[in-house]
C-alpha cells in the first residue's frame, strides 16, 4: 500500500494539478485555508460520490473492470482530465507488466491507449496482493499528496503549510474511503461543475506549470 501511495510510483502524478492551477489563477485558491477547502470540496463533491466508490468496486471485483473502465473514461469532462487518466493508466500498466503478467484485456486496452488509472490501479492492487480497501486508501492518499504538492508550488506555500493542509484534509479523506463501499452505483454522481470548468479553462491558461 505504501508503495502504491509513494510519489516514487513512476506514473507522472506530480505533473498534474487537476484544475487546481486554474483555481489558483482565478483566485479561488490563494492561501493555505483556501487550498485545503479546494481539496476538501473535490473530495466531497467528486471523489466521495463517484471516483472513490468506482475505484473500490473495480479493485474489489475484477469482472467489472472493462465496464467500469469505460464508464470512468466517459465521465472525464475535459481533454486534460481524459489525457491525464490515460497517460497515468498506461504508465502504471507498463510498470506492473515488468513485475507480473497483465490480464489480456488490460494489455489490449493499454496498447489502444484506453486504460484509465482506476483500471490500471486495480491490476496493480491484485498484483501486489492489496485488498480493495487498502488500494483505495493508497489511491486517495496519492491524489491528496499530489494536490498538496501542487499547492506548495503554485500558490506558493511553505512545507509546514503543506503539513497543516494534510492534517486538515486527511480526516475527510478517511471518511470518503470508509463510506465508498456503502454507496450503491445507482447513487453515483460525478457532478462537480466548478472542477470541470477549472479544468477546461486550464487548457488555455497562458502560463502554467502543470499538464492539467
Q: Specify whether the CB–CB gap between 39 and 175 falls below 8 A.
A: no
pLDDT at 208: 87
pLDDT at 70: 93
State mean pLDDT over 98-125. Answer: 78
- What are the percentages of helix, strand and coil residues in the chain, rounded to 5? 75, 0, 25
Peptide bond into 187 cis (omega under 30): no
State mean pLDDT over 196-202. Answer: 94
State mean pLDDT over 190-210. Answer: 91
Q: Which three cell numbers stand for residue 38?
A: 479546494
Using CA atoms, how far residue 178 sits from 33, 52, 53, 134, in Å, is 25, 10, 10, 11
pLDDT digits (tens, 9 = 90+) for 66-80: 899 999 999 999 999
pLDDT at 184: 96
pLDDT digits (tens, 9 = 90+) for 47-68: 999 999 999 999 999 888 889 9
pLDDT at 27: 96
Helix, strand, or coil (residue 172): helix
pLDDT at 58: 93
Task: Report the chain's mean pLDDT, rounded to a whole number.
Answer: 92
State mean pLDDT over 4-25. Answer: 92
pLDDT digits (tens, 9 = 90+) for 77-91: 999 999 999 999 989
pLDDT over threshold 80, residue 159: yes
pTM for this entry: 0.94
State mean pLDDT over 94-121. Answer: 78
State mean pLDDT over 188-198. Answer: 94
pLDDT at 113: 63
Q: Which uninterrupted H or E stretch holds 177? A: helix 159-179
Residue of higher predicted confidence among 126 and 38: 38
How far is Cα 24 from Cα 202, in angstroms, rounded to an integer?
10
pLDDT over threshold 70, residue 210: yes
Amino acid at each position: 500500500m505504501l508503495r502504491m501511495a509513494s510519489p516514487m510510483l513512476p506514473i507522472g502524478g506530480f505533473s498534474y494539478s487537476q484544475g487546481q492551477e486554474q483555481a489558483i489563477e482565478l483566485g479561488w485558491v490563494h492561501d493555505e485555508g483556501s487550498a485545503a477547502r479546494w481539496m476538501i470540496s473535490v473530495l466531497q463533491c467528486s471523489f466521495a460520490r463517484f471516483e472513490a466508490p468506482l475505484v473500490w468496486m473495480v479493485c474489489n471485483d475484477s469482472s467489472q473492470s472493462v465496464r467500469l473502465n469505460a464508464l470512468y473514461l466517459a465521465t472525464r469532462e475535459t481533454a486534460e482530465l481524459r489525457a491525464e487518466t490515460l497517460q497515468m493508466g498506461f504508465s502504471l500498466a507498463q510498470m506492473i507488466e515488468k513485475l507480473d503478467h497483465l490480464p489480456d484485456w488490460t494489455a489490449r486496452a493499454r496498447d489502444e491507449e484506453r486504460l484509465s488509472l482506476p483500471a490500471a490501479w486495480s491490476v496493480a492492487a491484485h498484483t501486489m496482493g492489496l485488498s480493495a480497501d487498502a488500494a483505495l486508501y493508497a489511491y486517495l492518499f496519492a491524489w491528496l499528496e499530489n494536490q498538496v504538492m501542487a499547492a506548495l508550488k503554485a500558490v506558493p506555500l511553505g512545507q509546514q503549510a503543506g503539513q497543516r493542509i494534510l492534517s486538515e484534509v486527511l480526516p475527510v479523506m478517511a471518511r470518503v474511503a470508509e463510506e465508498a463501499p456503502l454507496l450503491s452505483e445507482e447513487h453515483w454522481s460525478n457532478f462537480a461543475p466548478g472542477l470541470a470548468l477549472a479544468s477546461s479553462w486550464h487548457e488555455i491558461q497562458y502560463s502554467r506549470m502543470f499538464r492539467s
